Amino acid sequence: MKRDVCVLQILVLLIPHVRTGEHPPAPSSVRVSSEAHGGGIYLKCSFETRPGSFLGFVVVWLRLSALGLREELRQETTVHTSVHIELDGFNLRLGDKIYCSSSSFFLDSPEVRSPAVDSAEFFAGLRMTVSESSVLEEGGVYQLLLESTVPLPCVKDSDRCSLLLQLNTISQEEEQLGADVSLSSCAVELTSDPCADGPCSRTSLHVSPITDFILDGNRSTIISVKAIVTENVVWSGYSPEPLQIQVQDVQSAYCYSFTDPHTVTFDGRCYENSQIGTFVLFQSAACGVEVQVRLWECGGVEHAASCVCGFVVRDGGDVVSFDMCEGELGETFPQLNVKHRGPRSKLRITESYQGRKLTMTLSSGAFVRADVSSWGMSLTIRASGADRGHTQGLCGTYDEDPHNDFHSADGTEPLDLHSFVSAWRLPPGSSLFDSVPSSLSETIPLQFCLCSHTAAVSLSPDLPCPQPSPHPGSIPPSSLIPSLDVTQEYLTPAELLQTQTQDNRYD
């Protein structure tokens, strides 16, 4: 700064005084950026000016106080179009909101200044942002972005500059209701990039609301970063401003097909179906799930009726049937057949009442429950929040509008009940009862972690997830009726070993 003043005094002596009453041009494009020099972090105030004007500049550094007022940090005079101030951790700290203001003057008449031009606010530190701050409890995945606007600390005698960030979540009423949000990792490493015209470092992870199938109200969750541990004075103990996510509760939807059969759609529309054959009961484009049913004649001589005699479920790579359609009415009992099992299967099978009530819980948390009688079976289908707005079939559209439940596969709405049911009939030999498709698509789901108890745990990039988040299919359907998990009874020893290996690998 002293050198700049001396240069300014010399230039004043060399420049002839030729201006009277003329105002100097104001600086333009005033901005604050950050740089690293000699192991320190510096903020740079730069600006542009008209060339050949023989100007000097007065630069004022300002900080936004806790009360929202601008307080002056420093003022200096220069002949250059940029000045620096050190982010030393004492006078200027991480988390501060900084401005610089620049005005110009002619070197031969410094008493006349141009109007001051302010920079935009510059936030010095780490910033967390999420793609959506209010989300539905329906299995969505959202991006959580972490950015640093200043250079990261470097390892001594090394060019490696990075920070390990440990994240923690605290949900409203967590002790009573459990965590409401999960993260794809509880620890991330932030590595340094050039601070050209953007952030000096950036990383991201994913956030997902936990689908718990409990009406626990709308709850908020705070996501925070644990205070940073480092030998660097500027960064040591720093923790960025936490962010809040609001999770809106989503009520589960149920579809019923009972007795001969009376059907109630997910949106509550009731109708009766007397047709015989194989139909698509429930299909979800969001979760890759399909439930097909087969109806047989179950009425008497005077009253014709149809009843459900079996169903088959496709959940990703799993295809499982529960079927009594090949036997005689009143003399047969359904058989469960695992037609195909995917390598990452999360399907669970439970039964009660000596097998007369069987439930298949799918990876999304949706389930199909069968209550078996001599004439056939009644079915209950639960859709997950992720299915909302993505379902079709005889169970309707699950969009809280019962008027559009009678639809066809192309989205049009048939005029009557008979055409609606017929639109979802499958041709003979084309159903999952008859054969399994040669290729079954199976997506690899993102793995999520419960980060609500990481505050006292030391994590690393090699151990970023101390407690995996339960996938929706692992949450048992609420029921007062005791049930027995019989999933393993339907696996061969080789399949069981494969599934256990996959569970250990992906959980």
| CA 471 – CA 184 distance, rounded (Å) | 13
Contacts of 469 (CB under 8 A, 6+ apart): 179, 182, 208, 210, 448, 449, 450
Query: What whole-number percentage of the chain has pLDDT above 90?
Result: 46
Assign 177 to helix, strand or coil.
Answer: helix
The pLDDT tens digits for 50-95 are 887 789 999 999 999 989 999 999 999 999 999 999 999 888 999 9
How far is C-alpha 60 from the chain's CA centre?
Answer: 42
β-sheet bridge partners, residue 368: 360, 381
Angle at the Cα of 20 from the Cα atoms of 19 and 21, rounded to 5 degrees: 120
Lowest-pLDDT range of 180-184, 369-373, 464-468, 469-473: 469-473
Q: How far is it, in rounded angstroms, from Cα 327 to Cα 414?
A: 34
**Rounded mean pLDDT of 168-172?**
93
> What's the CA gap between 237 and 485, in Å, rounded?
49
Q: Tokens representing 187?
A: 């620890």
- Range with the largest mean pLDDT of 119-123, 285-289, 500-504: 119-123
What pLDDT sits at residue 5? 47
pLDDT by residue (tens digit) across 317-349? 889 999 998 888 877 888 899 998 887 778 889
Question: Which DSSP helix (H) or strand (E) runs through 498?
Answer: helix 493-506
Total-model pTM: 0.79
Q: What does each C-alpha distance from 357 to 32, 369, 380, 478 come to in angstroms?
A: 68, 7, 11, 14
Task: Give me the pLDDT at residue 430, please.
Answer: 92
Write down the number of H helices and E strands in the chain.
Answer: 4, 32
Q: Alpha-carbon distance 170 to 452, whole Å? A: 6
Contact 230, 163 (CB under 8 A): yes
> Which segments within 158-305 are labelled E, that is strand?
162-171, 181-183, 187-191, 201-209, 219-225, 243-248, 253-258, 262-264, 270-272, 277-284, 289-297
Domains and CATH numbers, the chain: 2-123 (2.60.40.10), 126-248 (2.60.40.10), 253-440+477-506 (no CATH)
How many other C-beta atoms lie within 10 A of the C-beta of residue 34?
A: 20
How confident is residue 175, by pLDDT bands cut at 50, 70 and 90?
Answer: confident
Position 46, amino acid:
S
d(C-alpha 378, C-alpha 441), whole Å: 29
Q: How far is Cα of residue 320 from the mean position of the Cα atoms in its chain?
A: 30
Model confidence band, residue 125 (pLDDT cutoffs 50, 70, 90): very high
∠ at Cα 69 (65, 72), nearest 5°? 75
Which range is least confidently modeled, 12-16, 122-126, 208-212, 497-501?
497-501
In this predicted structure, what is the pLDDT of residue 18?
Answer: 46
How high is the pLDDT of residue 215?
Answer: 83
Angle (CA) 111 117 122, round 5° = 135
Residue 480's pLDDT band (boundaries 50, 70, 90)?
Answer: low
Task: Say how far apart CA 25 and CA 49 lie, in whole Å.
Answer: 7
Residue 470 has what pLDDT? Answer: 67
> Can you tell me whether residue 2 is helix, strand or coil?
helix
Query: pLDDT confidence of 498, banded at 50, 70, 90?
Result: very low
d(CA 452, CA 379): 38
pLDDT band at 3 (very low <50, low <70, confident <90, very high): low
pLDDT tens-digit readout, 101-117: 999 999 988 889 999 99
pLDDT at 198: 78
In whole angstroms, give the CA distance from residue 457 to residue 367: 36
DSSP per-residue letters across 60-116: EEEEE-TTS-EEEEEEEEESSSEEEEE--SSSS-TT-EEEEEEEEEETTEEEEEPPP
Helix, strand, coil abundance in the chain, percent, nearest 5:
10, 40, 50
Query: Which pLDDT score, from 0 to 100, does residue 463 have?
Result: 62
- Please report, in angstroms and rounded to a whole number, the separation of the first and last CA atoms in the chain: 59
10-27 per-position pLDDT tens digit:
444 444 444 555 789 999
pLDDT digits (tens, 9 = 90+) for 239-279: 999 999 999 988 889 999 988 888 999 999 999 988 899 99
Give the pLDDT confidence of 421-457 residue by residue, as tens digits. Answer: 999 999 999 999 999 887 776 666 678 888 887 555 5
Beta bridge partners of 198: none
Take residue 306 and report the two structure tokens written for it.
């149809």
pLDDT score for 6: 53
pLDDT at 461: 59
